[in-house]
Amino acid sequence: MTTGIRIRTFGRTRAVVLAGVVLLLLGGQGFADVEEPAAPATVQSLSETIQSMNIGLDTMWVTIAAMLVFFMQAGFGMVEAGFIRAKNTCNILTKNFLDYSLASLMFFLVGYAFMFGDGSFIGREGFCLLHVPDVIAGTNVQKWAFWFFQAAFCGAAATIVAGGMAERMKFPAYLMYTVIISALVYPIIGHWIWGGGWLAKLGFKDFAGSTVVHATGGWAAFIGTILLGPRLGKYVNGKTKAIAGHNIPLACLGVFILWFGWFGFNPGSTLAVGDGSGLALVAMNTNLSAAAGAVTAMIVVWILMGKPDLSMTMNGALAGLVAITAPCAFVTPSASILIGAIGGVIVVLGVLLLDHIRVDDPVGAVPVHGMNGLWGTIAVGLFDVQDGLFNGGGAKLLGTQVLGTLCVSLFVIASMGLVFFAIRKTIGLRVGRDEELRGLDIGEHGMESYAGFQIFVTE
């Protein structure tokens, strides 16, 4: 055993000597003449390499998350298509398609500047991303990835409204709405909260958009639906008639796509990988809240209606996802379950309330996004691990959250109310009676979603 050790030691010594000889021959100078790299330069080079790797890693994560948020457009499309009648499926999918397309263009041209430029009420710089730093301040994310991520959020906010106003809104009117909310209304609200505006300065917390995205879209759908009026045959002689969706499996697929995409929506809002603990907690809270919302919605509708309705259960999952979007990084997993469970109850009672006041929301956009957007944002003030009321933080944060949600909701209802009212008075909001009965696919687009069912006479 000792001999073996000596042999290995001798071998290493010989290798060192040979290496030195080779260096002398190749370098043409002695060891004494070789200059050692300056220590500060080495440290600086290593630091720059690490920083570059951090930028690359965080940029990659945000880009992947943005792709997941983009995929949520497919989820919205499938949910809305499944919950409405077959004769309007092409119309709703076209609106979803154009939502994201127009939102992307508007957010590039002006929306990003209004949202993230300097200013208290609205931003004033960064149009077409000109003069925006290559790496976003306070992050390690390249501006192109950050814009892509935020543009996907803008598209999601615009898409929410399509479901609430489905089956009777004119297509040109919808395009006008999409341009305005994407270019102006959504960016202004985003600036208040995420762009350093007045709510941000008050300490308002909305980690991933319960208010910025979901309450904005939900309350825009609410006022739009009121001005548009209910579908023909929905409320007859003081009674509410159910108008069944044509494809519940399609809607169910859409909910699962949205659930999956939410793991980009919420964890992606960390804007950093770090040691992974932050985004992992957010992902866990997101999943638990969705599951709790589905279960409680199913139980409540079972008690009230006598059957465990699948459509309400699916909306319960979405309610849990919306509710946890604001507090997902600020609360414990146990709190996320409670937040989602309450969200599931809210969505069922919200649907019943809308029918009671004769507001026709075909897919439940207002209860899912509007009502639960408010609940999730207020829940931050209750369950925040540092400043929440239930964790000894007092009522300051809760007051700020309530103030912020109320201001945003009133702003959306007022601004979008004016937009929809102006559209109604000019080109009109609603299709004609005959077109509504025949279906918007034929009247608005000249095509059917499910062809091959007509009888053709051939010679």
Q: What does the pLDDT look like over 253-262, one tens digit per residue?
A: 999 999 999 9
* pLDDT at residue 5 is higher than 50: no
- 3-class DSSP state of 124: coil
In a domain, 35, yes or no: no
* pLDDT at residue 30 is higher than 90: no
pLDDT band at 20 (very low <50, low <70, confident <90, very high): very low
Q: Residue 26's pLDDT is what?
A: 39
> Mean pLDDT throughout 5-28?
38
In a domain, 64, yes or no: yes
CB 155 within 8 A of CB 100: yes
The mean predicted confidence, pLDDT, of the chain is 91
In a domain, 198, yes or no: yes
> Mean pLDDT throughout 320-327?
98
pLDDT in tens, 138-192: 999 999 999 999 999 999 999 999 999 999 999 999 999 999 999 999 999 999 9
Total tally of structural domains belonging to the chain: 1
Task: Identify the residue with better confidence: 27 or 351.
Answer: 351
CB 162 within 8 A of CB 96: yes
* pLDDT at residue 401 is higher than 50: yes
Contacts of 408 (CB under 8 A, 6+ apart): 189, 192, 193, 199, 211, 212, 215, 216
* Chain Cα centroid distance, residue 439: 30
Give the separation between CA 429 and CA 51, rounded to whole angstroms: 52
In a domain, 453, yes or no: no
In a domain, 397, yes or no: yes
* Residue 169 phi, psi dihedral angles, 5° rounding: -95, 140
**CB atoms near residue 143 (< 10 Å):** 18
In a domain, 48, yes or no: no
CB 170 within 8 A of CB 444: yes
pLDDT band at 453 (very low <50, low <70, confident <90, very high): low
For the chain, what's the residue count?
459
Give the separation between CA 122 and CA 136, rounded to whole angstroms: 19
CB 324 within 8 A of CB 285: yes
* pLDDT at residue 455 is higher than 90: no
**CB atoms near residue 250 (< 10 Å):** 17
Give the separation between CA 161 and CA 35, rounded to whole angstroms: 68
* pLDDT at residue 25 is higher than 60: no
In a domain, 261, yes or no: yes
> Mean pLDDT throughout 63-77?
98
Give the separation between CA 107 and CA 97, rounded to whole angstroms: 16
- 3-class DSSP state of 239: strand
What is the value of pTM for the model shown?
0.89
Q: Residue 8's pLDDT is what?
A: 36
Give the separation between CA 49 and CA 230, rounded to whole angstroms: 60
Tokens of 212: 């910025």
Give the separation between CA 317 and CA 329, rounded to whole angstroms: 19
196: left (phi over 0), alpha (psi -120 to 50) or beta: left
**CATH number of the domain enclosing 415:** 1.10.3430.10
- Cα distances from 446 to residues 221, 318, 379, 439, in angstroms, run 26, 33, 46, 10
> Mean pLDDT throughout 381-405?
97
> Mean pLDDT throughout 308-316?
98
* Residue 123 phi, psi dihedral angles, 5° rounding: -75, 160
* pLDDT at residue 23 is higher than 80: no
In a domain, 138, yes or no: yes
> Mean pLDDT throughout 189-218?
97
pLDDT band at 9 (very low <50, low <70, confident <90, very high): very low
User: Residue with structure tokens 């209606």?
Assistant: 305
Domain that holds residue 196: 53-445
> Mean pLDDT throughout 420-441?
96
Closest residue by Cα to residue 153 from 116, 119, 201, 199:
116
Of the listed ranges 33-47, 142-156, 408-422, the least confidently predicted one is 33-47
> Mean pLDDT throughout 398-410?
98
> Mean pLDDT throughout 33-59?
75
* pLDDT at residue 294 is higher than 50: yes
Tell me the percentage of the chain whose pLDDT exceeds 90: 86
* pLDDT at residue 290 is higher than 70: yes
Q: Residue 454's pLDDT is what?
A: 53
- Cα distances from 109 to residues 115, 149, 192, 419, in angstroms, run 12, 16, 19, 20
* pLDDT at residue 199 is higher than 90: yes
pLDDT band at 48 (very low <50, low <70, confident <90, very high): confident
Q: Residue 210's pLDDT is what?
A: 98
CB 217 within 8 A of CB 369: yes
* pLDDT at residue 100 is higher than 50: yes
Tokens of 451: 């062809």
Start-to-end CA distance of the chain, whole Å, equals 100
Give the separation between CA 82 and CA 407, rounded to whole angstroms: 33
* pLDDT at residue 449 is higher than 80: yes
> Mean pLDDT throughout 354-367?
97
Q: Residue 46's pLDDT is what?
A: 85
* pLDDT at residue 58 is higher than 70: yes
